[in-house]
Structure 1
Amino acid sequence: MGEGKQTLLWLDKWTGEECLVVLYPRLFLISEQKQDTVHKMDDTWVWEFRWRRERFDWEANQILTLHQILNTFSMKKLKNDYWYWKLEPSREFSVKSAYKLLTSQRTTNERQKLFVCMWKLHVPPKVSLFVWRLLINALPTKENLLRRNIQVEPQHRLCVFCRASLETAPHLFCTCSKVVTIWDQWLTWLNCPAP
């Protein structure tokens, strides 16, 4: 935080992990300065709030805690506000750190290990791609086509092998009565009692 000329008091995350509108939603509703910058609110080094109505007692307590938070910060005169990226020691944004953050939130450790192992297999790339699409349920099964609002005639929605159930990836590759016999034969050849 520099002078606070580019930082919105209520709407930017400048006091911590949450912006003030999230921490104090009721105070934000009664504020007449919803779009004001920190600099405009603290130009004279005193926090000057304007409210559209008288505050209730419990709101006065919230204002007190808000002032306690705000008084821990000091503006730096003649210095511009700037953003920094917490995930890099250099504080500069990198696609690599953003990608790591996104993938760590989307996949569990076990699933990530499975994908790493799968991509290292010595098989044609089209096989790896097929298995990956199967694992993330992205094959064009009748169920997925319907979910994406692609019109499929009612008589063509059933499994292409058994014609007894909706064509889903788990059904098509595991529970279909026709496929189960193929799995049984294949596991017999491998001397494996169960998959």
Structure 2
Amino acid sequence: MATDIGDSTRTLFWEDRWLHGQRVIDIAPRLYLVVAKRIIKKRTVAEALNEHLWLRDARGASSVGELREFFALWDIFQDVALQPEAEDRHYWRRCSSGKYSAKSAYLHLFSGATQFGPWERTWQTWAPGKCKFFLWLVAHDRC
């Protein structure tokens, strides 16, 4: 799921994909590890940005890599503008409608997979089940 932020009261700062389709962990993985799990699961974008609580959340950052990621996030957040009159919009990126469906998830899961064309002839034949299974194995290079 991705998110277009509005008032950002229903979007989790550390967990949701609200930074141009990315999560904070995608941009700053070392810094993410410093933040307490209980905070990660409840901090909203509105709280983190309006009250600058994300600075307090990442207080344990001490290595050079963590500090580099901290300042990179700082630069990114300077350009973020919340829209208090609009609600957050969570959408499924794998479907043009933006709504999640099991079908779209299934199609995405198997996109690029090899299709076996003569499956109907294999499974709908009069042959015994063990023969059908053997033909399936041969067709998929499993023997």
Which residue number corresponds to residue 19 of structure 1?
A: 23
Q: 1:101 Cα shift?
A: 0.8
Q: 1:56 Cα shift?
A: 3.9
Q: 1:81 Cα shift?
A: 1.6
Residue in structure 2 matching 1:55, options 48, 58, 62: 62
Residue in structure 2 matching 1:101, options 90, 95, 108: 108
**Which AA in structure 1 matches 2:48?**
M
Instruction: Could you tell me which runs of 5 or more consecutive residues in structure 2 were left unpaired when the two chains were aligned.
Output: none
Instruction: Tell me if structure 2 keeps the 8 A contact 1:31–1:49.
Output: no
- Cα RMSD over matched residues? 3.5
Alpha-carbon separation, structure 2, partners of 1:40 and 1:20? 15
Structure of greater Rg:
1
- Calculate the TM-score normalised by the size of structure 2: 0.66
Provide Cα deviations, 1:10-31, integer angstroms capped at 9, x if missing partner.
1112224542124323212334
* Residues 37 and 78 (structure 1), Cα distance of their counterparts in 2 relative to 1, 3 Å cut: same
- Calculate the TM-score normalised by the size of structure 1: 0.52
Instruction: Tell me if structure 1 keeps the 8 A contact 2:30–2:65.
Output: no
Which residue number corresponds to residue 131 of structure 1?
A: 133
Matches of residues 108-127 of structure 1 in structure 2 within 5 Å? 108-109=113-114, 112=115, 114=116, 116-120=117-121, 123-124=125-126
Among all aligned residue pairs of Structure 1 and Structure 2, give the percentage whose two residues are the same amino acid: 23
Q: 1:38 Cα shift?
A: 0.5
Q: When you count strand as a share of all residues, which structure comes out higher?
A: 2
Matches of residues 36-115 of structure 1 in structure 2 within 5 Å? 36-43=43-50, 49-50=55-56, 51-53=58-60, 55-104=62-111, 108-109=113-114, 112=115, 114=116
Greater relative contact order, per chain length (Cα 8 Å cut-off, separation 6+) = 2
Alpha-carbon separation, structure 2, partners of 1:125 and 1:54? 66
Alpha-carbon separation, structure 1, partners of 2:127 and 2:18? 46
Instruction: Could you tell me which runs of 5 or more consecutive residues in structure 1 were left unpaired when the two chains were aligned.
Output: 137-168, 171-195
